[in-house]
Structures are given as C-alpha cells and as structure tokens.
Structure 1
Amino acid sequence: MGMASNSTTFRIVISGYYGFRNSGDEAVLRSILLALKEQGKRANVTIVPIVLSNDSALTTAMYGVESMPRMHPASLWKALKSADALISGGGSLLQDATGKKTIPYYTGVIKLAQWLGKPTFIYAQGLGPVNSRAMFPLISSAMKKSSYISVRDEQSARLLRNVGVVKQPIDVVPDPVMGMPLPDRQTAWKAMEQDKPVIGVSVRFWRSDRQELDSIAAALLKLMNERDVHIRFLPFHTPDDVEASRYVHNLIVPHLNKASTLEIADVEDDPQQMLLAVSQCDVLFGMRLHALIYAANQRIPLIGLSYDPKIDQFLERIGSEAIGSTEQLNADQFTTKVMQLLDGKDKWKTDKEPYISQLIEQSQKPAQQLIQFLRQNISR
C-alpha cells in the first residue's frame, strides 16, 4: 500500500445493507465514510473504502468510492483479499425478522474476512430480534474473533452476552447518523416557502391490514382540522414509503376542511439531502428510526411511533418515549403533543440538547477505535 504524502493508507471493506435506496441505511454508510475520513485526517491516515453494495454503480456515483457487488462470491473474495480490514455495519444486520438468510450472510462475510486473516470491526450495529436459536452460534463465532465490537444500544449488548460473547469488550455507541452533517450544497433540495408550521411525516408499511396507517391518517386529519399546518411526507425508503405516504395522503384529502395543506416530498437518494429536508420541518413524526435520528441530529422536535424495540431504545436515549405503536395511536393525544411541540420548540431543544450533544460526540468513537487499531497493529 505504501505511503502517500506521509499518510499511511488502509483499504477497508464495508459490509451492510447498502445500495437498496433506503435513506436510513445510506445515511449510515455516508456517516461511516465521513467519520473515517475525519478521524483518519486527525491521525494522518488515509482510508480507502470498498463498499459491498446491491447497486455498485449507484454507490460509486453517490459516494465516489470503490464498490463491489455484495452477492457476487468472486467480487467479495477479491475485495476482502485486497483489504486491510472489514467493517460490518452499522444498521440492524444481525436479526432474522426480515428473513432467515440475513444473519448467515452477514456473519458469513465476517467469517470469510477472518479466515483470510483480516481484522473485523463491528460498527454500531443494532442486533435482534433473533428468533431462531440456531443463529446464536453464527453470531457468537463471528463476534468472538472480531477485533472491535460496538453496538448502538444496551439491548444489543445484552443479546451478544446471551449468545455467548462474554469476554470481549462491547462499546455501546450511538447510531453513526447522529454525526452526519448537512450537505455542502444546501440549495440542492429546497422546500417551497410555507406560511404555516411544517410537520414532517415518515411512514412505512408494517401491518398487512394497514391499521397503523389508518390510525396515522386519522391523527393527522384531526391535527390539520384543529390547526393550520403543512404536512410534508418524507419517504425514507423508495418506492415503498412513497406508496405508504400516498395511502395516508389519499385517506386525508377527502375530509380536509381547513387551510392545512400536504405534499409528498421528492427528495433525491443522497441521505444528506433528506437530512436537509428534515431540517426544514418544525416538528417530525416518524415510524422510521432514521427519520427520528435525522430530526434529533438537527434539533427538530420529534414524535416517534413504535413498531420495533429499536424505536423505543433510541427515544429512551434522548429522554423521550413513543406516542403510540402500530397497535394503537390516539388522535387526541397525538394532536395535543404536536401542538405542545409547536408552541414549545425552544424548551424542547433546551431539554434535549445535553442528550443530543453527547450522542453526536460519541458517534465518532468506532472510527477512532478502528484507526487506532490499524495504526498499532498493521505495519507498513
């Protein structure tokens, strides 16, 4: 690898749920890349990333990095063989709620890197749920041989201890997206000027009967009929969230009888542009975890709807709790809460600032630890 301008260079493969046009996961990747660049600069280290992606061309175009197909064995082998280390994460990679192949795939990538003699780093992962005990040995084996482990909540750390990872240190750190900055090109996405408060809304499909979206539509309609607001749907995972947003939108429109308005925002795939869109809201209501993280990042008062423990775990870290769940959302309570936040934005920001500032600072720790390990253990 050699030296470049007196800066030591390391090639790092990054494995995660990338290249699927999910704004939250793309934000994780962007945040990891920015943290590695920033911490590398401080340590006089240059990190050359190789991202395993579902859409290599998209990933290369979006981030300007080398990318390999995540499901192509020869490409995976080539990437790991040429690298100095592997990052696995962040995001919710080690869980079996989305399918039985998820954990075997991600632990398989980790084990292959270890078999090739490459140090592996678990980067701010959220683990679970793991419903099949048959997955425990896969997780335990991959973790026990990793050089550094960090998870994004205490529940993930407990799960690792329960599957047998008992001797290795485990850092509990924030989601990497807490450290993501706004884009340099702040004019790339610009909202239409509004003469009323803007409520950002991030929804997703969850229940097969759509009851959660019906309840959200009822809650938003009550709010819009009691106070003039502008609802801005923010689809974090296209095209699915666009369809979910349209479903709620279409339920509201026939019954809207005041001056409130609504739109489905068309934000480009770059996660920093979505962060910019969130920053232009007065309050954000979200089902997606990263919609809530974006809002916290930008000190936008937020309300979370729980569909997964990771929502409750994040809200707890900023001293909040969910307004409801996919099983139950009270329209009166929702409306009251939104109006309280609109009228008390400054107080919310003051109350939450200590939590948020700490999370932003701690979000850099995995990158710091990785670069320190590389400098101390890989000779040039």
Structure 2
Amino acid sequence: MGGPAKQIVISGYYGFRNSGDEAVLQSILLALQDEGHQQGISIEPVVLSGDPEWTARTYGVKAVHRMKAGALLSAIRQSDGLISGGGSLLQDATGKMTIPYYIGVIKLAQWLRKPTFIYSQGIGPVNSKGFYPLIRSAFKHSAYVSVRDQESAELLKSMHLGQTKIEVVPDPVMGLPLRETGVRQKPAANAGSKPVIGVSVRYWNENRSELAALADSLNGIAADRDVEIRFLPFHLPSDVKASEDVIERLSDAARAASVSVRDVTHPQDMLAEVSACDAIIGMRLHSLIYAASQHVPMIGISYDPKIDQFLHRLDIRSSATTERFDSTAVAAETLRLLDAREAWQLEKRDAIQRLKAEANKPAQQVAAFLRQKG
C-alpha cells in the first residue's frame, strides 16, 4: 500500500475484559484492517484502554491508558482521527461521569482539529437532559455518525441535531468472523451427541430472582430432554459467579447432565463457543449478537431496552424480562427452538445476512475519509 500509515485513535470501554466490549473492539480492528486493504491504505489503530499492556498483547496494536491525560493527548495529537465507539458509551445509567468522559475525548480531538467518527453506538438512556447540548455539539462536528439501532437515532433527533446525517447500522460484532471459518461447526466430540444449550447470565435483581427463575427453566428443560448446559460468562469475573449461583440452584437431575462454565477471554474464542451451541439463552446483549451471527437460535432475557432493540431487528421478542420471568415459558421456547432449529435458521437467514453485510459500513466510511485526505 502506498503512502504513510493513517493513525486512528479508538475510544471505548476497552481493556476491562468485558467480552462484549472486547468483541466490539476486535470487530472494529478487523473491519478497519479489511477496509483499509480494500481501499489501498494502511490504518494503524491506537486503542484507549483501561489496561493498555493487556490490550496491546491481546490484539497486537498500540494502546495507551484511557485515563492518563498526557498519553491520551499525545495519541490524539499524533493521529489522523478518532473513532468513538461502539457499545453503549453515551448513557448515564451507570454513572454521571460516563457521558462527560466520552464526549470529552471527542471534543478534545475536535479541538485538535482531528476528524471524529461515531462508530455504531447505542445511545441512551440519557436521563439528564443537561447532557443533550454536549452530545449535540460533539456529533454535529463529527465527520460521520452511526448508531446501532433506530431507537438511538430517534433519541439523537430529539436532541435537535439539525442536518447531521445519522446512519443506522448493526452492532459491529455482527461482522466478527470465526478464526478459520464463518460456518457453524460443532466440535467433532459433540457430533451426534445431545443438544448443547449455551447460557449467558449476569446479576441484575438484588434478590437474585432472575437467577432462581433461570434455574427453574433449566430444570424444566433437563427434565424433558437430555441436554448439555454450557455457561458462557461474558464479563469476568462477575458472570462466572452469577453462573455458579445458577448452577447451585439446579436440581439434581439437571446437575447430573453435563454442566460446565467456559472461561474464555478472547472474543473469537467466545464466538467459537457460541457457534458450537444448538441454542443460546442470553441476558448479555453480545451473547445474542454472537448467536445471530452464527445462526444459533436464541432466547433473549431482557434487562435493558438494548436487548429488545436488537431482537426487534430479527423480528424476535424477548422470552422474559428480569422483572417478569415465566420459567415454564422460557423452558418451552427453548425446547421448541431445539426442535425447530433448521426452520428458525431458514426463517432468519436473510435478515442475519443483511445485518452482517451492513456491519462494516462505518469502517468503509472511515477508510474512505482517510484515503480522500491523502
């Protein structure tokens, strides 16, 4: 490729070993690499990370600490632009400093006259309207704005962004490939054996009622069918503990089946785990996105609108919520999908392929912008 490498800083919730966010980063890195190659430019990412040494080692990229002002400033100053995203960065449900941090990084880049790109973000909830002017200013002065669902686009429009074009694209993780093949492939050891149910669970209710209800569902499934249950923790270590809490609530019959907790950290290793399942029961958003990308039937347990927003794109409704969890209904839906897996795959194939094809649109836009700037 001709010309010097284009350095792009990537801002997000990276380096915290949250499998969903790490999958977003891996997806962005691979998409940029692919699109750069397609458009004849070399793109050199620099990731803002909570653990830059781990991020650099895991992905083979440059990384600097996201909270060290000097390193952050230097990285942006030396760059050709900044990507903010993806994930749910601009929301105030997890704290009042989340939005100011991410908007602050964007505005710093803009102050340094660097082009900024909003990459498939999920916006909201934004409970404090005092944040609206900050978001509006950052997005208005960005070279490209994309969000991962229509609900995020509508929220931005309510902030009066004016003529700013907002592109709705899938979550970047829909484009994440398996290491060697994108074809669903169960390990040889499982060929012809009992169905595998993947379970992604997190803590939510203080009384752990969602864990008790999920355990009841799994007990019902195991009473009806000889299955293997694999817990897939997406956020370490808390999801491991949540998985263990569910296992403690399982009946003797369910525990007599093959029950395991898969402890993997690399996004593509987790994607392989999901691809080896016959169905996924998921609370974590990216467990459902992984399942969709690998054409694995899913049973969504909603704790946040982002779960429902993703499922809606596949014309699916959540089977339960953390507030209203009918254990019998979840068990019945899981058994139905095990029996109708091929029909489900055929029904959802076109929608899934469309989302996968659209997942790289933001990377295409970033690469095109950098190429045109010379």
What range describes the TM-score normalised by the shorter chain of this pair?
over 0.9
Distance change >3 Å, CA 258–CA 214, structure 1 → 2: closer
1:66 aligns with 2:37: no
Secondary structure of 2:203's counterpart equals coil
Distance 2:162 2:217 in 1: 45
Q: When the two structures are superposed, what TM-score results if normalisation uses the length of structure 1?
A: 0.94
Q: Does residue 1:170 correspond to 2:166, yes or no? A: yes
After the TM superposition, list the runs of 4 or more consecutive aligned residues in structure 1 that deviate by more than 6 angstroms: 189-192
Q: Is contact 1:191-1:277 (8 Å) kept?
A: no
Matched, 1:264 2:261: yes
Residue type matched to 1:235 in 2?
A: P
Alignment pair present for 1:136 and 2:135: no
- Cα pair 1:283 1:338 within 8 Å, conserved: yes
Match of 1:307?
303
Q: Give yes or no for the alignment of 1:350 onto 2:342.
A: no
- Equivalent residue pairs, number: 370
Rounded Cα–Cα distance in structure 2 between residues aligned with 1:108 and 1:340? 48
- The change in CA–CA distance for 1:20 and 1:134 in structure 2 (over 3 A counts) is same
Deviates most, 217-226 or 269-278: 217-226
Cα distance in 1 between the residues matched to 2:31 and 2:230: 30
1:256 deviates by 2.5
Q: Aligned pair 1:340/2:356, yes or no?
A: no
Please give the per-residue CA displacement for 1:107-127, whole angstroms capped at 9, x wherever unaligned: 000000000000000000000
Equivalent residues of 2:218, 2:254 under 8 A apart? no
CA distance in 1, matches of 2:86, 2:11: 9
Whether 1:148 and 2:144 are equivalent positions in the alignment is yes
Structure 1 counterpart of 2:336, one-letter code: Q
CA separation of 1:258 and 1:100: change in aligned 2, threshold 3 A: closer
User: 1:190 touches 1:277 (CA, 8 Å); kept in 2?
Assistant: no
Give runs of aligned pairs for residues 242-321 of structure 1, distance below 5 A. Answer: 242-253=240-251, 255-256=252-253, 260-267=257-264, 269-321=265-317
1:260: how far off? 2.7
Partner of 2:263, secondary structure, is coil
CA distance in 1, matches of 2:4, 2:367: 11
RMSD: 1.7
Change (3 A) 1:258 1:15: closer
Aligned positions of 1:219-234 closer than 5 A: 219-234=217-232
TM-score, with normalisation over the residues of structure 2?
0.96
Q: How does 1:83-94 map to 2 (within 5 A)?
A: 83-94=79-90
Mark the CA change 1:113 to 1:258 in structure 2 (over 3 Å): closer, same or farther: closer
Q: 1:49 aligns with which of 41, 45, 70?
A: 45
2:219–2:254 Cα contact (<8 Å) kept: no
**Is the Cα–Cα contact under 8 Å of residues 319 and 355 in structure 1 kept in the other structure?**
no
2:221 maps to amino acid: L
Q: CA deviation at 1:185?
A: 9.8
Segment drifting more, 172-181 vs 160-169? 160-169
Instruction: Tell me what 1:323 maps to.
Output: 319
SS in 2 for 1:25: helix
Task: Report what 1:216 is aligned to.
Answer: 214
| Separation in 1, partners of 2:19, 2:32 | 20
The equivalent of 1:360 in structure 2 is 356
Q: Give the structure 2 partner of residue 96 of structure 1.
A: 92
Distance in structure 1 (CA, Å) of the matches to 2:181 and 2:237: 25
Distance 2:27 2:157 in 1: 27
- Identical aligned pairs, as a percentage? 53
Using the TM superposition, name which of 97-106 and 218-227 deviates more: 218-227
Q: Which runs of 5+ in 1 are unaligned?
A: none
8 Å contact kept, 1:228–1:258: no
- The reply on whether 1:206 has 2:204 as its aligned counterpart is yes
